[in-house]
Structure 1
Amino acid sequence: MLWIKTFHILAMTSWMAGIFYLPRIFVHYVEGREAGQDVARLEIMAGKLYGFMTIMAIFTLGLGTWLWLGYGFSGGWLHAKLTFVLLLIGYHVWCRQYLQKLRAGTLNRSGRYFRLFNELPLLIFIPILIFVVVKPF
């Protein structure tokens, strides 16, 4: 099970890297477009990054399920963690919606909005980390 846990952590780390970086691409896209710059490369980058982070999310969830089946479903901390994991999945889907708007040329939020949007996954990830490490209940 330790190998499964290792690959789960690796996949989760890769997923989180994408979750943290994609909104920064949105910031640069919106601000670059407002400045009249060519932002076509950012659209390509956003699409490829979203594909990568989706694959990593699937690995994370699959390996997490494997761990859950191996160790069992016990403790309130796990229920709480899974609640925040669902929020993270929701954020991932929300990013997809913004990616679709970016591709359609209708991404109309400000760079400031996406800077704030970029902070949400951290607010979701911190409780997950606390629940896994501290297991407060």
Structure 2
Amino acid sequence: MSDWLALIYPYAKAFHVMAVISWMAGLFYLPRLFVYHAERGRTPEPAESFAIMEAKLLRLIMNPAMIATWLSGLSLVLTPGIVDWSMAWPWTKAACVLAMTGFHMWCAGQRRLLEAGKGHPGRRYRLMNEVPTLLMVGIVVSVIVKF
């Protein structure tokens, strides 16, 4: 199995980068939609439009991208000789990826709340919009610096 993983490693890495870009784009945009939904979606027509955009972004882009990120990332991690588990960087990256996945799930829950008319004020979503950026910084620094 390890020979097969080593053979596909460059392709898995390229696919992983593309999946991460897609997932991050959604994680950056969905909370921004929540801000608009919370602040401008007080009447039925705009609220319905925001709900449709949020649901499609989550279902058609973010969920598949997250799954692709995880599957390709796990194939990279399982390739022998790629990750030195005695260093701190794989553990900090893993913690940030788990937190990113948790944030994704939080966003999915917020989408349902907003659709039901029970979401938070726009200010909270503005603050939460910074979470993926902070996690991305942690991931990129971990992987590039390899401390």
TM bin, normalised by shorter chain, reads: over 0.9
Q: Which residue of 2 aligns with 1:115?
A: 126
Kept in 1: contact 2:22–2:62 (CA 8 A): yes
Q: Which residue of 1 aligns with 2:141?
A: 130
Superposed displacement of residue 33, structure 1:
2.5
RMSD: 1.5
Q: Is 2:68 the partner of 1:59?
A: yes
Q: Distance in 2 between matches of 1:37 and 1:111?
A: 18
Runs of 4+ in 1 over 3 A off after TM superposition: 34-37
Q: Is 2:25 the partner of 1:11?
A: no
- Of the two, which has the highest radius of gyration? 2
- Indicate the SS of the match to 1:121: helix
TM-score (norm. length: structure 1): 0.92
* 1:1-137 equivalences in 2 (<5 Å): 1-34=9-42, 38-51=46-59, 52-72=61-81, 73-74=83-84, 75-107=87-119, 109-136=120-147
Percent identity (aligned): 38
TM-score (norm. length: structure 2): 0.86
Q: Which amino acid aligns with 1:21?
A: Y
Instruction: Count how many residue pairs are aligned between Structure 1 and Structure 2.
Output: 135
Distance 1:43 1:35, change over 3 A: closer
Q: Distance in 2 between matches of 1:3 and 1:61?
A: 15
Superposed displacement of residue 17, structure 1:
0.2
Kept in 1: contact 2:47–2:115 (CA 8 A): no
Superposed displacement of residue 128, structure 1:
0.4
